[in-house]
Structure 1
Amino acid sequence: MAGNLIVVGSANQDYVLSVDALPTGGETRLARSLRRFPGGKGANQAVAAARLGAGVAIVGAVGDDDDGALLIRELRAEGVDTSEIEITSADRTGLAFVSLLPGGDSAQTVVPGANHALSATRAAHVVRRLATPDSVLVVQAEIPADVVSAVVRAASENGVRSVVNLSPLIDLAESVLRLADPLVVYGVEVPALTGFAIDGRERAEEAATALLRSARSVVVVADHDGAAWADPSGGGYVMSPHVGAIVDATGAGDAFVGALVTLLAEGASLKEAVRIGVEAGAVAVSRVGAQASYPYRRDIRQLRR
């Protein structure tokens, strides 16, 4: 393994439709364009971290097809170690169909495919083998819940910090959530976890504090406005810098998480890691695509000028 980040998660081929509005039941609409990008929360976060200089290994699964081969090539081109991606003939590579709306918002439907062929036993074994004293694990929820649980427990057993990005929302045992450091959730997931929606900075901070009862630390990403954080030392909120018009929000949350875990692996505080994550997400929404939009360190430095 090269480096200190272990990403366990999905790899999808994204098909992005630019549309004026989503169709309603029985309605047909014409798209302005169709583009194809590499994606998947696991692969996205791996690329986001690698572009910021982290050494990254990804654990996942793709189909034995052209999409899977392309995704592996793209990850390798970004410097990500793909030796632990399983190639399976049992299912095709995961797909995501993204409708990109005016103003940059998007709606997504994911067909998990080979991502759900990932075995909990194998993934946990790989995490144990790759674990080093300075490793950080990051896992998302586009893979089966038993895999998420298994790798977080394996990481804990080996002294590895686990960042759990609970998106999409799945059921995890309380004992697994308690190992999350941090638990990262987006605004859309907050109501199901706390019973209230985020409608501003104060609510985001309130949600982070409430969720701290369930995890070692918490980050709540409040759409494009910024992110709240909380850990035993305190908490706060980091506002997103202004970058002009939002072009495409697809994968911006993954840019945030990739930057967050990179800084945590470097020994940064949670507050500082959240700040860099917010800046990475701000750059990402100003560009088209998911992985293609992710910043390098120079882009974040330029953002601050």
Structure 2
Amino acid sequence: MSGRLVHVGSAVVDYVYRIDALPAAGSEKTATSYSRVAGGGFNMMVAASRTGMKVVFGGQLGIGADGDFLRAAFAAEGIETLTPPSPLMDSGNCVAMISSDAERTFVSWPGAESVLTPDMMVPVQVIPGDWVFTSGYTLSYPGSREALAAWIDALPEEVPVVFDPTPVIAEIPRPILERMLARTAWLS
């Protein structure tokens, strides 16, 4: 595949706890393991990069410990970040509880990736041959959905868009979802 993958979704820090089973409401569990890893769209970007595709990130990373952690993870994988750190807040995170039967339960906190304005997208320039990827998470956030949808609407028609609606598809307003699906070349 020629061109770059321009990811305009979100990346967050995952706090992963392995537990035997979810705790009952009001009770406590002790995890069997814990890890802090770059997550969200980061995993897809790394997979694409490791297959030889040039990948760049056009989403928002915040200021603070989680944003710094993500910037270091991007740098370690050679993935360029096109936008400056958002001065508004830190990057978001997700607590992932994985039970012994491999069931995953998440609690997310949206951070800088949930606030996007047209001005923030100015540094994200698409060139011929690029592919654009976005996710339902960024389109579900009230503070980012319209700016991202408008940016995608303005892409040249020959730029393919890959869209992963994610488990939060029901939180994407129908008009935004319809715009995205009309523009989508590949639905993940």
Alignment check: 8 A CA contact 1:141 1:148 kept: no
Provide the secondary structure at the position in 1 that maps to 2:13: strand
Q: Structure 2: where are the runs of 5+ without partners?
A: 139-143
Equivalent residue in structure 1 for 2:132, among 120, 133, 137: 137
Query: Which residue does the alignment assign to 1:182?
Result: 186
Runs of 4+ in 1 over 3 A off after TM superposition: none
Q: Deviations over 1:81-139 (max 9, x none)?
A: 11x1331232122111000111333111111111112224532x344x2x222111000
Give the secondary-structure state (helix, strand or coil) at the position aligned to 1:35: strand
Contact 2:62 2:87 survives alignment (8 Å): yes
Q: Which structure is higher in helix share? A: 1
Q: Matched residue pairs, number?
A: 177
**Which has the higher Rg, Structure 1 or Structure 2?**
1
Partner of 1:97: 95
TM-score scaled by length of structure 1: 0.54
Residue aligned with 1:79, SS? coil
CA distance in 2, matches of 1:106, 1:177: 27
Per the TM alignment, residue 160 of structure 1 is displaced from its structure 2 partner at its CA by: 0.6
SS in 1 for 2:23: coil
Q: Which runs of 5+ in 1 are unaligned?
A: 185-305
Pick from 108, 111, 125: which aligns with 2:109?
Answer: 111
Distance 2:117 2:7 in 1: 15
Please name the residue that 1:205 is paired with. none
Aligned ranges 1:1-305 → 2 under 5 Å: 3-41=3-41, 43-82=42-81, 84-123=82-121, 125-127=122-124, 129=125, 131-143=126-138, 144-155=144-155, 157=156, 159-167=158-166, 168-169=168-169, 170-171=172-173, 172-184=176-188
Secondary structure in structure 2 of the residue aligned to 1:85: coil
Report the Cα offset of residue 15 of structure 1: 0.5
